[in-house]
Amino acid sequence: MSRTMRSDPPIAPPRAPASRARRAGRGIGAILVGLAMIAVLVGGASLAYYRWCQGAGGAQRPVSFSVASGATDIEAVNAMNDRGIVRCGGTAARVMLGLRGGAPAIEAGQYQLTTNMTPDDALKVLEKGPPPVPVVDVTIPEGYRLTQIAARVAAELKIPAKQFLNVAENGTFSLPPYLPKNATSLEGFLFPKTYEFDRHGTTPKDVISTLLDQFRQEARSLPWQNAQQLGVSPYQVVTIASMIEREAQIPADRPKIAAVIYNRLATNMTLGIDATLQYVDPNPSDGLTESDLRIDSPYNTRLNKGLPPTPIASPGLPSLRAALEPAQTNDLYYVLCGADGHHEFATTYAQFLQLKAQCQG
């Protein structure tokens, strides 16, 4: 007898209740809404902060602000924020600079700003570039002594002459091979020319370094190899040139006066140059008196043979060249002659006396 077997249908897995699914959906939505609200709040706060950074408020005090060479715009803004000039730096400054687009580059220099400026106002000042630095022209004439240069610097740059001389005579400057190390005086090496200096803040060292550097540049064009053949050092060349500068009144006389100096040195004569004695004259206003001629000083070349110990003034390029390229003569004397300031030259003392009588009556 056969039996028919009956199979029961499979049991389906239980399904979540509809109410639980709905609750999960609402939870995710709430999270998204919350995140959106947070984003709105953060965005609103960021916008409010950015707008606050764009503004300014509070007392405005003058600020001297310096932009260093090579500084970027963000570095400049951050530095202004540190000084209290603008409210914000960092990210807010980057956003602000990005929105400004192709703004002009900020130039290095010194600016006059105030505290509590708007970034836009501050950047407009920086983008114009620094104001021109006030300058003054200082002319050092040929033949000026160190004391005269100090007086000119004092008049033009308001640097006390004593302060200038103290720096010039402290032995810290040198200019090889012309000015040896530890030279006690810069006499003769502050090159005569017109210079431009900042009206404010220029120091004695600034002036001296500039004039010494000019001497170095000018000296490059001269035949210094002649010094050895002439039997003198580069320093002595400058000393001779300084005497030429003070003695010669017309250009043509310079190499001739140089020849007289070298000829007298070669024959072991005293130089007898009044300009060296005038260098130590205690009262220049009355000229060279009889008592002045007897001054006991190494600068009195009427009494002492050889060169004075230092130059006596700042020679110009023509006098330096004359000291290196003297005229080829046997002259040992010269005398001032004529209204134009030229000199007449002689090889003997008798000729000199004759010329002196003719020229000076």
Residues with Cβ within 8 Å of 170's Cβ and at least 6 positions away in sequence, in order, are: none
Distance of CA 306 to the CA centre of its chain: 38
**Secondary structure of the chain in HEC code, one letter for each residue:** CCCCCCCCCCCCCCCCCHHHHHHHHHHHHHHHHHHHHHHHHHHHHHHHHHHHHHCCCCCCCEEEEEECCCCCHHHHHHHHHHCCCCCCCHHHHHHHHHHHCCCCCCCCEEEEEECCCCHHHHHHHHHCCCCCCCEEEEECCCCCCHHHHHHHHHHHHCCCHHHHHHHHCCCCCCECCCECCCCCCCCCCCCCCEEEEECCCCCHHHHHHHHHHHHHHHHCCCCCCHHHHHCCCHHHHHHHHHHHHHHCCCHHHHHHHHHHHHHHHHCCCECCCHHHHHCCCCCHHHCCCCCHHHCCCCCCCCCCECCCCCCCCCCCHHHHHHHHCCCCCCCCEEEEECCCCEEEEECCHHHHHHHHHHHHC
Distance in angstroms (rounded) separating the CA atoms of residues 321 and 319: 5
Distance in angstroms (rounded) separating the CA atoms of residues 190 and 168: 10
Closest CA to 245 of 165, 190, 183: 190
Distance in angstroms (rounded) separating the CA atoms of residues 146 and 210: 15
- Cβ atoms of 338 and 253 within 8 Å: the answer is no
pTM here?
0.73
Give, for all 361 residues of the chain, the pLDDT tens digit: 444 444 455 555 555 555 555 555 555 655 554 454 554 444 455 678 878 888 888 899 999 999 988 888 889 999 999 999 999 888 887 887 877 765 567 888 889 999 999 988 988 898 888 888 899 999 999 999 999 999 999 999 999 999 999 999 998 999 999 999 878 899 999 999 999 999 999 999 999 999 999 999 999 999 999 999 999 999 999 999 999 999 999 999 999 999 999 999 999 999 999 999 999 998 887 888 888 888 999 999 999 999 999 999 999 999 999 999 999 999 999 999 988 999 999 999 999 999 999 998 7
Q: Dig out the tokens for 243 from the structure.
A: 């005497």
Cross-strand partners of 196: 137
Q: CA torsion sign, 317 to 212 to 227 to 256?
A: positive
Break the chain into its structural domains and give their ranges.
62-127, 133-220, 223-361
pLDDT given for residue 289 in this prediction = 87
